[in-house]
Amino acid sequence: MNLTIENILLVGSILLFISIVVGKTSYKFGVPTLILFLAIGMLAGSDGIGGIRFDDPKLAQFIGIISLNFILFSGGLDTDWKAVKPILKEGIVLSTLGVLLTAVSLGTFVWCVTDFTIYESMLLGSIVSSTDAAAVFSILRSKSLALKTNLRPTLELESGSNDPMAYVLTIAFLTLVIHQDQSVASIIPLFLTQMIVGAAAGFGFGKLSKLIINRIKLDFEGLYPVLVIALMFITFSATDFIGGNGFLAIYICAVFLGNQELIHKKTILKMYDGLAWLMQIVLFLTLGLLVFPSEIVPYIGIGLLISIFLILVARPLSVFISLMFFKMKLRRRFYISWVGLRGAVPIVFATYPLLAGIEKADMIFNIVFFISVTSILIQGTTLSIFAKWMNVAMPEKEKTITETDKLILELPKSSLQEFEISPKFFPKSKRIVDLNFPEAAFIVMIKRNGEFIRPGGSTRIEARDVLMVLADSQEDFIKVDACLSPENPALKH
């Protein structure tokens, strides 16, 4: 079957529906949802029962880039800075040096066991060098896996921030494969430009996006998530246009926004949580359609050999070397090594050699696809078991919930207090979003002139308003009282 304008919505919606229904029960059998999405795409493809012929790497790459924007941005919004800050150095080292070491060690192994040139081997190593954000976020959260001593934020920070490094290495070694007269030193300026400009642009666009979201006045709450989508794509494309790494920029931008007071933040977080799942399904379905299972069979042997080396040697080696200067228990290092999940990102990156038309592009794509599938099947299904073996899993009763989780889940607070606004409080009215209100407290209602107002971030507080505030503890109410004091620095500009 060839996809046409007339049937693409029907076929797409049926595949989406099947993916959601099948994925609903997948974890009862210990099968990662993402693998099922991929399998459904393969079954619907030209080699499967669906007979849909899809052989367009360029379109698959475009869908992959769009999907990764949403997945990385959603992961960034969910990143709690307070949890990440203590392990920031470890996360950055893993997402840079760790990726480089994985690429080099795996590339060297591929060079030794295949007829690839050294640059082709390093290209393959670079493509699969990063852990996959979609796979890590999806599996850790769907399993509700609670880990000890900042392990989870370390893994999520690494997976969310290491794709840019893998992307730069992939582009760099692809350039060397195409232009073999160039030296390795020639790619250093590309690397520095991509990372430095990407990081600076991400932070800059984050601050600008906060200003726009909080200052613009939209008539409908539902338009704010649409505004954030526009800002996300502007951040990615503008950063890419000036030579920076767009993936790094949108992740940093999202981390910044996720830890700021934003108007209708709960609505934005909920929408991105749903869109991230949608994009994961679309991405894996598309990549499943793109691959031809019959073409993978000849590479199962070499693919399995490379995959085992990656899981048991290259990944642990890169983790242990990267973390050698940090104080960390041995079992934590082993667990971080095991959560080296490869997923859709390497498959998306593997489309770059296909589009460049290099000689071994098809072989690289099929090997990368096999590596990603085996990684999710072997590592993804054993995360909980391995956590128990390494004694890094927290007991069920000790699992903690982040403030972001509370926003999304709308968990109730333990107590309610009222705060009356003094006439001396403001030189002029102030919006709630400008008050730097404590994260653990929420204004649920405002009583004004005998009427009740449901507040939003843009709601302005006026003299003699009575604020009904929900919070967890008395300490939170003390912070609220200080926040509503005339001495609050946020009110003096």
Residue ranges per domain, the chain? 5-398, 412-491
**Between the CA of residue 321 and those of 86, 89, 132, what are the distances in Å?**
20, 14, 20
The 10 Å Cβ neighbour count of residue 441 is 19
Tokens of 426: 């403001």
Q: Among candidates 164, 165, 204, 201, which has minimal Cα distance to 65?
A: 164
Specify which residues 416 forms β-bridges with. Answer: 470
The CA-CA-CA angle for residues 456, 457, 462, to 5°, reads 80
Sequential pLDDT tens for the chain (493 residues): 555 656 667 777 877 787 777 666 555 544 566 677 777 888 877 667 767 777 788 888 898 899 889 988 988 888 888 878 888 888 889 989 999 999 999 999 999 999 899 999 999 999 999 887 666 766 666 555 566 667 878 887 888 788 888 988 999 899 999 887 777 777 788 888 988 999 999 999 999 999 999 888 887 888 889 999 999 999 999 999 998 999 899 999 999 998 888 888 888 888 888 888 888 888 888 888 888 878 888 888 999 999 999 999 999 999 999 999 888 888 888 988 988 888 778 888 989 998 988 888 889 998 998 898 888 888 877 877 888 888 877 655 444 545 555 554 454 455 777 777 777 655 455 777 777 777 667 777 888 877 778 777 667 777 778 888 877 777 777 777 777 776 655 555 4
pLDDT on residue 411: 47
- Cα 170 from Cα 112, distance rounded (Å): 20
Does the domain made of 412-491 have the CATH classification 3.30.70.1450?
yes
3-state secondary structure of 390: coil
pTM for this structure?
Answer: 0.76
- Cα 121 from Cα 109, distance rounded (Å): 8
pLDDT on residue 399: 47
Q: What is the Cβ-side half-sphere exposure of residue 177, based on CA atoms within 13 angstroms?
A: 26
- Cα 156 from Cα 197, distance rounded (Å): 23
Report the interhelical angle of 246-258 vs 57-77 (nearest 10°): 30
DSSP class of residue 27 equals: G
pLDDT on residue 376: 82
Given the candidates 1.10.10.10, 3.40.50.300, 1.20.1530.20, 3.90.25.10, the CATH classification of the domain at 5-398 is 1.20.1530.20
